[in-house]
Amino acid sequence: MAIDTIPSRAAPGDKGPITRQDTAVWTLPELTGLRKLLGPDWYRLLRGVVTNPLSVAGLIIVTIFVLMAIFAPALAPPVTAIADPYLVPRDGFSPEPKPPGTVWNRNPPPVPGWYETITGNDQWVHLMGTTSGQFDIWYGVVWGARIALFAGIVVTLSTVTIGLVVGSVSAFYGGWLDDVLQRFTEIVMAFPFLLAALLLSSVLVPKFGRSIWPPTIALIAFGWTRYARVVRGDILSAKERDYVMAGRVLGVKDGRLIMRHILPNVIYPILVLASFRLGDAVLSFAALSFLGVGTQIGYADWGQIISFARDWILSLDTHWYIILYPGLSLIIFGLGWNLIGDALRDILDPRMRGPEG
């Protein structure tokens, strides 16, 4: 029997046409390797993430902040071994900020090993200057990366989890339960997000004290609604498909049906939304700290570092460094996650898929 040929391009190392057998042999390693391990959808997602320029740029930015958070003790050593590293060391109590390059005068931290090699100076200086009250900006930016990652990840994971549970239960069971959950969701959505988080965080401060928990809890309490609405809409469509009906006929329990068969097929829009919202969560956390309902004074938080510039708004031409470095950290951190979200949206959009997608 003759073998059909594809004369469109030559086989590697052979000037003859590609046969159907050659095509099967060449694609076999891909199908039996990583693609078989992950499945076609997750393989396509991973391949798109590592080849899309937007996602690569976003991953590079996020990786820089992750490395900054991991190596914070080496980049900005704590003043003493027993000191809280998240409390920014201060060089006095003067209300006027000091510019970058100013030498430490009081209780300078230990000089890290990399400092003299890079700067050629064995005397520790304020690399980014100081804020009002003489809090060192370099320490605030470096250790603030940990706070940003913690707040962003905890808020995003918590809101995604709550949204998945509420949206799944609401859509799958329907009826009066769907009505109750959706009316409650709409009530929560009716509050202006940042204002509601500000009020709840203010209420929680007397109970938890000035720490990262009041703003984190407040952002979780009002941040899950969008996930719930997205999941509900997708599951309302998915639960009428044949594989769900077949599972019900076979007697599969509701929890297993939702967790093993429905959610894996509707999770991709949530991934895109979560990547966008993670950067938003950090910006909202910084906003609450800026307004005074976040961490305690002197804590390594980008929003609080920016808040020290409020008294110097009219002289930012001179004291520009107070707002520049923490502000750039916030903007670039959010930009990294937004680039990843844009890339995921393009990768997962059926209209953007190529013939091999």
Output the CA angle 115-96-205, nearest 5 degrees: 90
Burial 187-221 (b: 16+ CB within 10 A, else e): eeeeeebbebbbebbbebbeeeebebbbbbbbbbb
Is 197 a member of any domain?
yes
Is 185 a member of any domain?
yes
Both structure tokens of 260: 């093993």
Domain count within the chain: 1
pLDDT of residue 20: 46
Is 59 a member of any domain?
no
Say how many Å lie between the first and final Cα of the chain, rounded: 32
Both structure tokens of 52: 């899309």
User: CA distances (Å), 90 to each of 132, 139, 197, in order?
Assistant: 10, 10, 30
Is 236 a member of any domain?
yes
Distance CA 158, CA 274 (A): 11
Distance CA 93, CA 101 (A): 18
pLDDT of residue 204: 93
Residues of the domain holding 280 = 144-306+320-326
pLDDT of residue 1: 44
Is 337 a member of any domain?
no
pLDDT of residue 225: 93
Low-confidence ranges of the chain (pLDDT < 70): 1-36, 38-41, 349-357
Distance CA 126, CA 137 (A): 8
Paired with 10 in beta bridges are 17
pLDDT of residue 68: 95
Is 192 a member of any domain?
yes
Distance CA 111, CA 105 (A): 14
CATH of the domain at 169: 1.10.3720.10
User: CA distances (Å), 1 to each of 4, 13, 21, in order?
Assistant: 10, 25, 13
Is 165 a member of any domain?
yes
Q: What percent of the chain has pLDDT over 70?
A: 85
pLDDT of residue 288: 93
Global confidence as pTM: 0.82
Paired with 136 in beta bridges are 130
Is 28 a member of any domain?
no
pLDDT of residue 16: 53
